[in-house]
Amino acid sequence: MVVVRGNSLHERPCDEIYVVGEGETLNTISGKCGDPFIVERNPHIHDPDDVFPGLVIQIVPTKY
């Protein structure tokens, strides 16, 4: 998700508790937040392809 403020774009921050936004996948979240172990940290995700807006996941962000 991208938030527009004035003429600049700011990505939503990657916090340890992350709520999946519209159009996001575990792959895009992993790349944006720098956490390649999202599935391993979230045992409630049984199918990595079944991610939906509003799903709450735990990540360990390494970049902003």
Identify the CATH number of the domain in which residue 22 sits: 3.10.350.10
Is 4 part of a structural domain of the chain?
Answer: no
In the structure, what pLDDT confidence band is assigned to residue 63 with cuts at 50, 70 and 90? Answer: low
Q: Answer yes or no: is 1 within a domain.
A: no
Res 61: pLDDT: 81
Please check whether residue 17 is in contact with residue 56, taking contact to mean a CB–CB distance below 8 angstroms: yes
Tell me if 63 is assigned to some domain: no
The DSSP 8-state label assigned to residue 16 in this structure reads S
Considering Cα of 5, then 10, then 13, then 18, what sign does the dihedral take? positive
Does a structural domain hold residue 32? yes
Q: Is residue 41 part of a domain?
A: yes
7 located within any domain? no
Count the residues in the chain: 64
Write out the residue range of the structural domain in which residue 53 sits.
14-58
pLDDT at 19: 95
Provide the pLDDT for residue 12: 60
- The model's pTM is 0.71
Residue-wise pLDDT for 7-51, tens only, equals 333 466 789 999 999 999 999 999 999 999 999 999 999 998 889
